[in-house]
Amino acid sequence: MRGAFGFFSLRPLWRKKVRVALSAASVAIGVAAFVATAGTNRSLLAALEQSASAMGGKTDLEVRSPLGWVPLDLVETVREVAGVEVALPFSAFAIRLARPRFEEPVLVVGVDLAGDAALRVYRGSGTVSGLNPLALLSGSGALLGRPLAEELGLPVGSDFEVSCPAGKRRLVVAGMLEPEGMGKAFASRVMVMPVGLAQSLLSAPDRCGEIHVLVAAGAPKEEVRARIEAAVGERFLVAPPEGPAMRMESVLGTLRVTFLLTSIIALGVAVFLVYNSATLAAAERAQEFGLLRALGATRRMVLALSVGESALIGAFGALPGVGLGAILSNAATRLFVRDVAGAYFVLPRVEARVAPEHMLGGAAAGILAAAAAALLPAISVSRVSPLFALRREIREDPLRLTGRLRVVGTALFLAAAIVAHLLGPDRLPHAGWIVFAAISAALLLGVWPATRALAAPLGACLRRVAPVSGRLAYDGFVRSPGRIGFTAAAIAAGFALALQTSLVLGSCREAIGNWVVRTLGGDLWIFHGSFTTAFGGGPFGEDVLEEVRRVPGIARAGSARVRLLPIHGEMVMLTAFEPDDHAKRGKFDYLSGDEATTLRELPGRRALLVSEGFARHYRVARGEGVRLPTAKGEVEYIVVGVVVDYSWPMGVVLVDRAVYREDFGDPMLDDCVVVLEPGADAQTVRKEILARVGDRYDLFVGTLGEFRDEVLATLDRFFGFMRAEVASTVLLAFLGVVNAVWIGTLVRSRELGLLRAVGAPSRTVFRLVTIEGLLIGAAGGAIGAALGIAVAGEVLSGLSIEFTGYGIPLRVSPWPVLATAGGSVLASVAAAILPARAASRSGILEAIAYE
């Protein structure tokens, strides 16, 4: 049996080099997409975990507050609790470097110089070994990660400038940290300084970020924790260090699910191609396998031979696929970290790394998928009767379901999809996924009846135009529901994915672009840092707003503080804005409430507007209360309206900034919005603003149009990432059509030979085969267009609501739809050309030789 494996599984691969290469390439693409996605996720999480553990050190417990800071004098209180060995202040935040200019975030860590070595590892460069480098710090000195200092060209003793909430500050390089322990945090883009200096950069000298506690050896951790809780009061949280991964997980969940979904579809289409290829091999080699059966091979042997062959193809594809995935993972990680996740989080530089288990998993998935794809055709081939060898007709269609059953099943699944869609995620948990499952089932069941129904009128036309080839092509088409149906499904799925991506992007662009202009409004926007990335210099002082209001050419200037706040364990965005100023430049889209009510009930009161997602997620409506963790403890704010807001996937609450400043003790700003006087020149005003406040902060001033374009560009980059996967899926679907049409010509080689024997020119055969491609493409295109619209609609409503709480209206523009249908037809006809040429050139006698 093992010897037979060489004859009947290995050698055929060598004979069919081109086709094997195609199948292997498709598996490689699928595996690569999978490995790259997994690798990107993994790299991101690994980088975060690593930073967190470097910063956490040996910390057992942390004392935190929802506001992100605790008073410094609380450290003493905690220190006095029985069972506490060490209690130390700790602050960490990202900052901008103004000189030398550096466009990426740097992490500032503020610690207690005397005690911190008890918790964390510090190793200085070029210092006497054993010396704690923290001892080098004094005045405005900071320890820089050595890789960062080298990247910036800053030797020990040199000075540099940062732009932070307190304004621009000059600091000195007091020493360097080897990339080890704390020196490894944030991929070594880190600077360590006394907590007092760090807090002065934030203009909050008597605070620190959190308190890190080391429990005394032998003391019961839970009891100590309870004692600390009692000592600090209920406004503070005492808990083991929290991993940043959890928070990432919830916010980036949607994006990552989208990636994963796309790579699963890519792998699925690859499986389809292998299936097709295996069917082709089965059709070609049914006789050979029949002969093997006649010579005494059991069914299981034949099954093993043909599944083994596909598993080999899978292995050929999986190995380069893993390599390709590892390489892609690099680019994908960079893209994802900088352009996608970077919009939500301040992230360190992330090294792409693919875990061995992902490589092995990807390779195994490829091989198994290929073997599984071959199972159906292999079973059908193992069932050929031994006598088959002596005959020459080929049976197709392993899937036999009666037509009526299919139509009824399809209708039921479609009905289920519609019902789930109408119910929506509010009334039916996971409605989006149910809709997808039902649509997929309907596609699998219904693709053949639908294909046939769609191709019928076209077939009738073709018979008029080309009586012989049109007739025969349509007959062959109708006789092979399995082959044609699966192929139409693949081409439909490929193009539906492309259409869906395009429609979703188009709808998001439309909705979000309009929202920026209509709701945010204004002429010029001032930020501390860049437009859309989470990374900036932090908030800035109100003095900027006052100065800006004095710039000539400016009619009005408003401001907002934008920050994250934990509510019930999730990070919600809080926007504190100026309602009256805002009403003069932008309009909210209300889902409940209206502008007049807002202007009456919001200013000066503990009231808030909530975003659609927030309202849905926390089940609050107008008139109800939301408790916010303020500097005065938990305070209830009353909901005065529900509005559209796309700025944060986990939900947004909007409050009056005057109330916020009072309740949160926070006068800082994250942006200023300027409305120009009629006729004022935006560029002149921009220059004037920078001239007046540029020495205080490293600010960024842009027009509303630039702001919107930047938001849309981020969106485009995210979708650009997905497009690569979509393109490979379409390519795979194309290869699938090549294969399927090829099978058709093999299955019908006798008929085609006969046609030529009775005098049909090779042109007729060529036409016949390309017409089959045309029929598949037309049906696949129509199904794909419908499918793409349906899926896009569901992604924007059901899935979007499930993940972000808000839906986005679907906008169907005719161009992508037409392009999908046309692309499908063109691709299918093009795919048919190669097999058509081969069929029209094959010898007549060969085809009709036997019997």
Partner 1 sequence: MSAPPVLEARRLVRAFRQGRREVRALDGVDFRLEPGEFAAVVGPSGSGKSTLLHLLGALDVPTEGEVLFEGRSLHAMSDDERARLRRTQIGFVFQFFQLFPTLSALENVEVPLLLDGLSPPRARERARALLDRVGLSERGGHRPEELAGGERQRVAIARALAPDPRVLLADEPTGNLDRENGARVLDLLGDLSRGEGRAVLLVTHDERGAARAGRTVRLLDGRVSAAPEP
Whole-number minimum distance, CB 720 to partner 1, in Å? 47
H or E element that contains 211: strand 210-215
Question: CB of residue 297 vs partner 1: minimum separation in angstroms?
Answer: 5
| Identity of the residue numbered 324 | L
Question: Residue count at the site for partner 1 (CB under 8 A)?
Answer: 27
Tokens in use for 248? 């990432």
Cα separation, 419 vs 675, whole angstroms? 47
How many alpha carbons lie under 13 Å from residue 619 in its C-beta half-sphere?
Answer: 2
Cα 14 versus chain centre, distance: 39
Q: How far is the CB of 389 from partner 1 (least distance, A)?
A: 6
**Cβ closer to partner 1: 14 or 759?**
14
The token duo for 667 is: 């006068």
The residue (of 2 and 400) whose beta carbon lies closer to partner 1 is: 2
293 vs 358 by CB, closer to partner 1: 293
Tell me the torsion sign for CA atoms 723, 729, 731, 737: negative
> How many angstroms separate the Cα of 36 from the Cα of each of 271, 356, 645, 718?
18, 13, 32, 15
Question: H-helix or E-strand containing 607?
Answer: strand 607-611
Among 168, 169, 227, 299, binds partner 1 (CB under 8 A): 299
Asked if 332 and 37 count as a contact pair (C-beta separation under 8 A), the reply is: yes
Q: What are phi and psi of 640, to 5 degrees?
A: -105, -10
CB of 281 to partner 1, least distance (A): 13
CB of 291 to partner 1, least distance (A): 5
Residues 7-36 vs partner 1: string with x where CB under 8 A? x---xx--x---------------------
Burial of 846 (0-12, 13-18, 19+ CB in 10 A): exposed
Residue 833 Cβ vs partner 1, minimum distance, rounded to whole Å: 28
The nearest distance, CB 845 to partner 1, in angstroms, is: 15
Cβ 741 vs Cβ 838: under 8 Å = no
Phi and psi torsions of 656, nearest 5°: -70, 130
* Alpha carbons 214 and 52: distance in angstroms, whole number: 16
Residue 13, token pair as written in the block: 């691969």
CA 139, 145, 149, 152 torsion: positive or negative?
A: negative
Q: Which amino acid type is present at position 506? A: G
For partner 1, which residue of 215, 252, 301, 789 counts as binding (CB under 8 A)? 301
Q: Which is nearer to partner 1, 19 or 563 (CB)?
A: 19
> Cβ closer to partner 1: 118 or 848?
848
Give which of 450, 420, 295, 404 is closest to 785, Cα–Cα: 450
Residue whose CB is less far from partner 1, 13 or 24: 13
What is the rounded CA–CA span in Å between residue 802 and residue 804? 6
Q: Does residue 295 belong to the site contacting partner 1 (CB under 8 A)? A: yes
Using CB atoms within 10 A of its CB, is residue 496 exposed (0-12), middle (13-18) or buried (19+)?
A: buried
What 3-state class would DSSP assign to 208?
Answer: strand
Distance CA 795, CA 265 (A): 15
**Candidates 291-299, 338-346, 725-733, 759-767; binding stretch for partner 1 (CB under 8 A):** 291-299
Figure out which of the listed residues 130, 139, 155, 296 binds partner 1, where binding follows CB under 8 A: 296
Please, which residues bridge with residue 831 across strands?
A: none
Question: In b/e form, how buried is each residue of 770-806, taking b as 16+ CB within 10 angstroms?
Answer: bbbbbbbbbbbbbbbbbbbbbbbbbbbbbbbbbbbbb
Task: Please identify which residue in 4, 376, 466, 562 interacts with partner 1, judged by CB under 8 A.
Answer: 4
Instruction: Give the nearest distance from C-beta 21 to partner 1 in angstroms.
Output: 19
Options 62, 112, 288, 698; binder of partner 1; rule CB under 8 A = 288
In the complex, the smallest distance separating the C-beta of residue 391 from partner 1, rounded to whole angstroms, is 11
Footprint (CB under 8 A) of partner 1, residues 385-444: 385-387, 389-390
Toward partner 1, which CB reaches closer, 267 or 292?
292
CB 746 within 8 A of CB 847: no
- Binding span for partner 1 by CB under 8 A among 88-96, 115-123, 298-306, 639-647: 298-306
In whole angstroms, the minimum distance from the beta carbon of 843 to partner 1 comes to 14
Report the residue from 52, 118, 135, 294 that binds partner 1 according to the rule CB under 8 A: 294
- The answer to whether 815 and 850 have CB atoms below 8 angstroms apart is no
* Helix, strand, coil abundance in the chain, percent, nearest 5: 60, 15, 25
Residue among 3 and 356 whose Cβ is closer to partner 1: 3
Tell me, residue by residue from 159 to 188, as one string, x for binding to partner 1 by CB under 8 A and - for no binding: ------------------------------
Q: How many whole angstroms separate alpha carbon 206 and alpha carbon 71?
A: 6
Binding part of the chain for partner 1, among 48-56, 141-149, 290-298, 823-831 by CB under 8 A, reads 290-298
Backbone angles phi, psi at 172, to 5 degrees: -120, 140
Among 170, 221, 300, 587, binds partner 1 (CB under 8 A): 300
Q: Which of 298, 514, 683, 684 binds partner 1 (CB under 8 A)?
A: 298
Of the candidates 191, 262, 342, the residue with the CA atom closest to the CA atom of residue 32 = 262
Minimum distance, C-beta of residue 353 to partner 1, in the bound complex (Å)? 44
In the complex, least distance from residue 6 CB atom to partner 1, rounded to whole angstroms:
8
> According to CB under 8 A, which residues from 346 to 385 bind partner 1?
385
Q: Of 1 and 465, which CB lies nearer to partner 1 in the complex structure?
A: 1
Residue 84 or 305: the one with the smaller Cβ distance to partner 1 is 305
Write each residue from 791 to 830 as x if it is in contact with partner 1 (CB under 8 A), else as -, in one continuous string: ----------------------------------------
Q: Which of 149, 292, 442, 653 binds partner 1 (CB under 8 A)?
A: 292
Of 226-234, 269-277, 296-304, 631-639, the window that binds partner 1 (rule: CB under 8 A) is: 296-304
**CA-wise closest residue to 134 among 71, 102, 98, 88:** 88
Closest distance to partner 1 from the beta carbon of 8 (Å): 8
Quick check: 175 and 149 in contact, CB under 8 A?
A: no
By the 8 A CB rule, do 478 and 770 touch? Answer: no
β-pair partners for 309: none
**Using rule CB under 8 A, residue 232 touches partner 1:** no
Instruction: Point out which residues pair with 673 in neighbouring strands.
Output: 525, 558
* CA 22 to centroid of chain Cα atoms: 28
User: Distance (Å, rounded) from C-alpha 307 to C-alpha 282?
Assistant: 11
Would you state the structure tokens that stand for residue 306, as one six-digit string?
Answer: 């043909």
- Smallest gap, in angstroms, from Cβ of residue 1 to partner 1? 6
Could you say which residues in the range 480-519 bind partner 1, by CB under 8 A? none
Which region, judged by CB under 8 A, interacts with partner 1, from 236-244, 288-296, 414-422, 744-752?
Answer: 288-296
> Which lies closer to partner 1 via its Cβ, residue 6 or residue 130?
6
Instruction: Specify the DSSP element, H or E, that contains 566.
Output: strand 554-567
How many CB atoms sit inside 10 A of residue 117's CB? 18
Q: Find the part of the chain contacting partner 1 (CB under 8 A) among 30-38, 289-297, 609-617, 815-823.
A: 289-297
Nearest distance, CB of residue 290 and partner 1, angstroms = 9
Closest CB 851 distance from partner 1, rounded Å: 9
CB closer to partner 1 out of 304 and 712? 304
For partner 1, the closer of residues 286 and 498 by Cβ is: 286
Instruction: Indicate the residue among 291 and 786 with the shorter CB distance to partner 1.
Output: 291
Nearer to partner 1, 299 or 549 (CB): 299
CA distances from 338 to 215, 309, 342, 640, 799 (A): 38, 42, 5, 37, 25
Q: How far is the CB of 796 from partner 1 (least distance, A)?
A: 54
Residues binding partner 1 (CB under 8 A): 1-4, 6-7, 11-12, 15, 288, 291-301, 385-387, 389-390, 850
